[in-house]
């Protein structure tokens, strides 16, 4: 640590007031405070300052994502070799997946941080670490074979239009990572949805009868007959459910494993960084709507999605990932505790509605969260207003009664 600190201190005068690289101070400051605790101290008044600043908060979220990332790498390889019908060792699968996923991560960070640096230098702001988390979330919600230039475009769009135009980190209305995904979804639908993109490296050489659709779509199509599911058949529904829970199903890089996501959720909840209120209410909302729609499955037998058992929604697709890592984004979620319950519940409800009633939009979770991001300030407004009215009434009773 010592030599590193000396390097940072040696460079500081060049970037400080009057130095030759003064213009790039935000760049230096960003790196220096990333490595070491910032030297700011409170000067006036009595303030309690927590030792944990935004960078440490963000690092915690990254840490929570690591299980999903590692499992995602393994699963990309696993699905690849499974679809080709080849046997492969654990390390082969992992290395194949890593080879596919790492470029996504590198491009996402490189492009995103580049855009942030440019904006910070133009505006003379401090570099904010908001992109640290978004940069990791974006590759995790992309299919493994996504062309890198598309990813780069999506990142630029998300950071500039989703965040910087509103004033940078902490000012954005929409979740940056989901903005990137929405951009991809509407701009290049063939590369991020459908049945050809979820398994890496097999678009040209699919094994006979193998369909690479997402697990939920296959399940609905075959009417829950897991033995008939293309290529990857399961002995029983419990078996299918279990591999969905572990995450050995095709999908975006980081969202398949509910188990890995739950580990992340535990980290976020224990450190108090992710809101358990939101996670719980999203789950509750999804289940409630799932059971409600499931009740109609007898009346409308044509819609196969109605017949899906409600808890399947929690396990397959991006539901769990969205609930834990996306919906809890402190900037775009509701701020008030009551608002968080409402916000989360409606995300769950909307996600299941979109999934079941409009299979043309396979990723209901993304659209549900983005929609509720927009509604979050409104929810907060009414919660705060309701509280004010309640207290006013109490005040009036106290003074007049």
Partner 1 sequence: MSTETIAAVKERKPLFTAKDRKLITDPLDDDNPITVQVLGICSALAVTVQVKPALFMSMGVLFVLIMGNLVVSLIRNLIPSRVRIIVQLVIVAALVTVVDQVLKAYAYDVSKELSVFVGLIITNCIVMGRLEAFALANKPGPAILDGIGNGLGYSFILLLVAVVRELFGSGTILGFPIIGEWALNLGYKHNGLFVLPPMALVIVGVIIWVQRSRNQKLIEAN
- Dihedral in degrees, nearest 10, Cα atoms 136, 142, 144, 150: -100
Q: With binding defined as CB under 8 A, does residue 116 bind partner 1?
A: no
- Contacts to partner 1 from residues 55-74, by CB under 8 A: none
CB of 182 to partner 1, least distance (A): 9
Q: 90-123 vs 130-140: helix axis angle to the nearest 10?
A: 140
3-class DSSP assignment, residue 78: helix
CA gap 100, 123 in Å, rounded:
36
Q: With binding defined as CB under 8 A, does residue 296 bind partner 1?
A: no
Segment interacting with partner 1, rule: CB under 8 A, options 144-152, 224-232, 239-247, 385-393: 144-152
CA gap 115, 132 in Å, rounded:
13
CB of 171 to partner 1, least distance (A): 15
Q: With binding defined as CB under 8 A, does residue 288 bind partner 1?
A: no
191 vs 255 by CB, closer to partner 1: 191
CA gap 333, 375 in Å, rounded:
9
66 vs 153 by CB, closer to partner 1: 153
> In this structure, what token pair is assigned to residue 397?
């009773």
Q: With binding defined as CB under 8 A, does residue 147 bind partner 1?
A: yes
CA gap 314, 279 in Å, rounded:
11
CB of 187 to partner 1, least distance (A): 4
Look-up: residue for tokens 């450190």? 271
Segment interacting with partner 1, rule: CB under 8 A, options 142-150, 223-231, 299-307, 343-351: 142-150
CB of 365 to partner 1, least distance (A): 20
Contact between residue 288 and residue 356 where contact means Cβ atoms under 8 Å apart = no
**Of positions 88, 121, 150, 375, contacts partner 1 by CB under 8 A:** 150
3-class DSSP assignment, residue 20: coil
Q: With binding defined as CB under 8 A, does residue 106 bind partner 1?
A: no
Look-up: residue for tokens 């935000």? 26
33 vs 193 by CB, closer to partner 1: 193
Contact between residue 51 and residue 60 where contact means Cβ atoms under 8 Å apart = no
77 vs 201 by CB, closer to partner 1: 201
Q: With binding defined as CB under 8 A, does residue 161 bind partner 1?
A: yes
CA gap 363, 185 in Å, rounded:
9
CB of 188 to partner 1, least distance (A): 6
Taking the chain, what is the end-to-end CA distance rounded to the nearest angstrom?
66
Segment interacting with partner 1, rule: CB under 8 A, options 43-51, 61-69, 143-151, 267-275: 143-151
- Contacts to partner 1 from residues 173-232, by CB under 8 A: 183, 186-191
CB of 185 to partner 1, least distance (A): 9
**Of positions 21, 36, 149, 291, contacts partner 1 by CB under 8 A:** 149
CB of 367 to partner 1, least distance (A): 13
157 vs 276 by CB, closer to partner 1: 157
**How much is the CA Rg of the chain, to the nearest whole Å?**
23
CA gap 86, 89 in Å, rounded:
10
CA gap 179, 367 in Å, rounded:
10
**Of positions 4, 16, 106, 165, contacts partner 1 by CB under 8 A:** 165
CB of 356 to partner 1, least distance (A): 24
Question: Residues touching partner 1: how many (CB under 8 A)?
Answer: 13
Q: What separation in angstroms does the CA of 335 have from each of 70, 133, 277, 370, 383?
A: 31, 19, 11, 16, 10
3-class DSSP assignment, residue 119: helix
Using CB under 8 A, list all residues that contact partner 1.
147, 149-150, 153, 161, 165, 183, 186-191
């Amino acid at each position: 640590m010592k030599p590193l600190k000396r390097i940072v201190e040696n460079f500081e005068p060049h970037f400080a007031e009057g130095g030759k690289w003064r213009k790039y101070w935000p760049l230096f400051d960003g790196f220096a405070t990333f490595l070491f605790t910032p030297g700011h101290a409170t000067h006036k008044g009595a303030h309690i300052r927590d030792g944990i600043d935004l960078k440490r908060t963000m690092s915690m979220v990254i840490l929570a994502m690591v299980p999903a990332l590692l499992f995602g790498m393994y699963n990309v390889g696993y699905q690849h070799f499974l679809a080709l019908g080849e046997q492969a060792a654990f390390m082969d699968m992992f290395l194949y997946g890593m080879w596919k996923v790492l470029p996504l991560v590198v491009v996402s960070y490189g492009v995103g941080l580049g855009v942030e640096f440019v904006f910070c230098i133009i505006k003379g702001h401090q570099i904010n670490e908001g992109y640290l988390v978004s940069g990791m979330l974006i590759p995790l919600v992309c299919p493994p074979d996504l062309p890198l230039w598309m990813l780069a475009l999506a990142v630029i769009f998300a950071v500039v239009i989703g965040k910087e135009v509103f004033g940078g980190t902490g000012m954005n209305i929409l979740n940056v990572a989901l903005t990137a995904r929405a951009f991809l979804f509407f701009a290049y639908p063939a590369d991020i949805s459908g049945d050809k993109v979820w398994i890496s490296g097999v678009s040209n050489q699919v094994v006979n009868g193998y369909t690479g659709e997402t697990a939920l779509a296959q399940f609905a199509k075959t009417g829950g007959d897991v033995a008939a599911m293309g290529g990857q058949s399961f002995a029983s529904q419990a078996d299918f459910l279990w591999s969905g829970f572990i995450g050995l199903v095709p999908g975006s890089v980081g969202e398949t494993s509910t188990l890995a996501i739950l580990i992340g959720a535990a980290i976020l909840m224990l450190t108090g960084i992710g809101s358990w209120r939101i996670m719980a209410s999203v789950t509750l909302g999804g289940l409630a709507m799932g059971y409600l729609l499931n009740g109609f499955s007898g009346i409308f037998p044509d819609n196969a999605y109605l017949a899906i058992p409600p808890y399947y929604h929690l396990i397959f697709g991006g539901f769990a990932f969205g609930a834990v890592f996306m919906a809890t984004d402190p900037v775009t979620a509701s701020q008030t505790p009551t608002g968080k319950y409402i916000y989360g519940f409606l995300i769950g409800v909307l996600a299941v509605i979109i999934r079941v009633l409009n299979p043309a939009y396979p990723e209901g979770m993304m659209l549900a969260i983005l929609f509720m991001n927009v509604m979050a300030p409104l929810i907060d407004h009414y919660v705060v207003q309701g509280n004010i009215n309640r207290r006013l009434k109490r005040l009036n009773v106290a003074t007049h009664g």
